[in-house]
Amino acid sequence: MASTTESFFAPSNAPNSHTDNPNPYSLSSMTSAQHYWSIAHDLTSASPPLEPHNYGIKHDMGSVGVQHKQKMEVCRHVLRKIGEDHTFESLYMIDAIQRLGIDNYFQEEIGAILHGHYVKYVAHGGDCGHELHKVALRFRLLRQQGYYVPADIFNNFKGKEGKFNKELAEDINGLMALYEASQLNIEDEDILDEAGKFSEQQLNARVRHLDESQVRVVGNTLRHPYHKSLARFMAKSFFGNFQQINGWPNDLELLAKMDFNMVQSMHQKEIAQISKWWADLGLSKELKFARNQPLKWYICSMVCLTDPDMSDERVELTKPISLIYIIDDIFDVYGTIEELTLFTEAVNKWDFAALEQLPEYMKICFKALYDITNEISNKIHQKHGWNPIDALRKTWASLCNAFLVEAKWFASGHSPKSEEYLENAVISSGVHVVLVHTFFLLGQRVTKETEDLVDNLPGIISSPATILRLWDDLGSAMDESQEGRDGSYIDYYVKEHQGCSIKEAREKVVSMIADAWKRLNKECLSPNPFPAAFTKASLNIARMVPLLYNYDDNHCLPSFQEHLKSVLYESVSL
């Protein structure tokens, strides 16, 4: 038995002064520091304005922990001092902090500084000046923080014919900043769509005139736009780039290195916890087909919940992710339609009595699902005072319902309409199961209203699920345990639209992914009913997707595997 889709994650500088200095990381400054400036990877928070929280590492790391805390306070003092006058140097420092993946320690300061810049922007009637790099940087940082800044500020860089000025072609730093800013576009912002295309074309055209270092910087910007990348995976790329610069860049780099090693050690301990939990659970012995991949399950939790003090939440989130894999295999490979129908009914009723006619492996799986969900619900209730059992049960029921729909399609040979397929596939991706668990594990802004919101698949959940599903459908990977190709949006779209080529269908899917990103960007703007940490988790799933589905000809993920090796097992020298 094979379903038409796979579940979630399944194979399928600056000077040491406080003046408004020009960008110390520009390509024109021939130091290694500017290589840092434009390598575009980040796990930026799209939190609503003025919802700051400084996270810290709870674990006692001995002398390294003491040094880490001391260096963090030094950086905090400098950031506050630089931020007092709301100069552009404060934006450069915030950008550096975020790119190094240590912004979680400075959320209060970052929130206050960006609020000041927003007030200043409003007071000046939206006038951000005429330096493209500065305008684009402030636009991006404010939007990332949840502030709506109108995109028409970029009209200042257009000529009388309504096109971007040709003179901008010489401003490499400005073009890269413009390209980065265009990644935060929302629906109906044609000017940002145009800005993205213009900056990309101009940067590609300028590559032949740049030296090797500059080519690398521009290439990284185009391949890995800042807003759509993961900072923790790329932090090492920035280490060693401040050696010729005095002041806060050196302090930030040292803090980031210490933090990288400390967080890496924490991740290794969490993986050991998950491995022990999985072994003690005994499912791999009782269910011979169960994948024994605790590291793989943990990766999503690590990406979703990046703040160091969320160790318990990462461990707990990994448990339902493991069950998504197991249930996925039951529907894809092992169950008959009759058995899968009864199993789905049992999950919907949350009732053991409905299992009597099922094979033993399904009973074992349901018991594990039942016990783990109740255990997580009880832990959340004890910690946050809210029992999410009903909401969690609904997510599992909806996942199994979607799996069953696909199993019936496959068994009957039915080819659904492309939109019918996608509507169901967004659920069968499993993203909603992950994010609903994440929402309650975080325990922030949990009310009857927000619980109802997450129950009804809001855009903050459906958008990353759509991005994941469509990215998967663009790929050519096959599940290692399945014999055939899953159906995909592309397959069904071509069947549905006579005369449409595979190339045209793929282009449509690429456009749909871009539209899903626009919807997700809009969901992250204030006012946002969800907490910043939840918004960040949703963004991080979308950011992770290109790495997950960038398969090579051998159906392997070389880039993703290298990133994991670097983040989890290769420490950095201080």
- Model confidence pLDDT, tens digit, residues 349-358: 999 888 888 9
Mean pLDDT of 310-327: 97
Mean pLDDT of 420-426: 97
Strands (E), 407-503: none
- Please check whether residue 135 is in contact with residue 156, taking contact to mean a CB–CB distance below 8 angstroms: yes
Q: What is the pLDDT of residue 387?
A: 97
Q: What is the pLDDT of residue 495?
A: 94
Taking 60 as the threshold, does the pLDDT of residue 177 lie above it? Answer: yes
Least confident segment among 148-157, 304-313, 377-386, 477-486: 477-486
Identify the DSSP state of 486. P
Least confident segment among 226-230, 281-285, 433-437, 481-485: 481-485
Taking 50 as the threshold, does the pLDDT of residue 59 lie above it? Answer: no
Q: What is the pLDDT of residue 537?
A: 97
How many residues are given for the chain?
A: 574
CB neighbourhood size of 201 (10 A) = 13
Beta bridge partners of 164: 158
- Model confidence pLDDT, tens digit, residues 506-563: 999 999 999 999 999 999 999 999 999 999 999 999 999 988 776 555 555 557 788 8
Assign 80 a pLDDT band (cuts: 50, 70, 90).
very high
Q: What is the pLDDT of residue 14?
A: 33
Across all residues in the chain, what is the average pLDDT?
A: 85
Beta bridge partners of 158: 164
Residue 31 CA: distances (Å) to CA of 94, 243, 308: 20, 9, 32
Taking 70 as the threshold, does the pLDDT of residue 242 lie above it? Answer: no
CB neighbourhood size of 374 (10 A) = 15
Surface-to-core class of residue 34, CB atoms within 10 Å of its CB (0-12 exposed, 13-18 middle, 19+ buried): buried
Both tokens of residue 6?
Answer: 């796979």
Do you find a cis peptide bond into 416, omega within 30 degrees of 0?
A: no
Least confident segment among 2-11, 153-162, 307-316, 467-476: 2-11
Taking 90 as the threshold, does the pLDDT of residue 500 lie above it? Answer: yes
Taking 90 as the threshold, does the pLDDT of residue 224 lie above it? Answer: no
Taking 90 as the threshold, does the pLDDT of residue 417 lie above it? Answer: yes
- Please check whether residue 218 is in contact with residue 205, taking contact to mean a CB–CB distance below 8 angstroms: no
- Model confidence pLDDT, tens digit, residues 257-274: 999 999 999 999 999 999
Assign 416 a pLDDT band (cuts: 50, 70, 90).
very high
Mean pLDDT of 434-438: 98
Least confident segment among 15-29, 58-72, 87-101, 533-547: 15-29
Assign 1 a pLDDT band (cuts: 50, 70, 90).
very low
DSSP string across 144-172: HTT----GGGGGGGB-TTSSB-GGGGG-H
CA angle 409, 516, 298 (to 5 degrees): 75
- Please tell me the chain's helix, strand, coil percentages from 3-state DSSP, rounded to the nearest 5: 70, 0, 30
Q: What is the pLDDT of residue 530?
A: 95
Taking 90 as the threshold, does the pLDDT of residue 134 lie above it? Answer: yes
Q: What is the distance between the alpha carbons of residues 268 and 398, in angstroms, rounded to a whole number?
A: 33
- 3-state DSSP call for residue 415? coil
Mean pLDDT of 167-174: 95
Q: What is the pLDDT of residue 265?
A: 95
- Please check whether residue 306 is in contact with residue 540, taking contact to mean a CB–CB distance below 8 angstroms: yes
Mean pLDDT of 458-474: 96
Q: What is the pLDDT of residue 501?
A: 95
Mean pLDDT of 301-330: 96
Taking 80 as the threshold, does the pLDDT of residue 413 lie above it? Answer: yes
Assign 481 a pLDDT band (cuts: 50, 70, 90).
very low
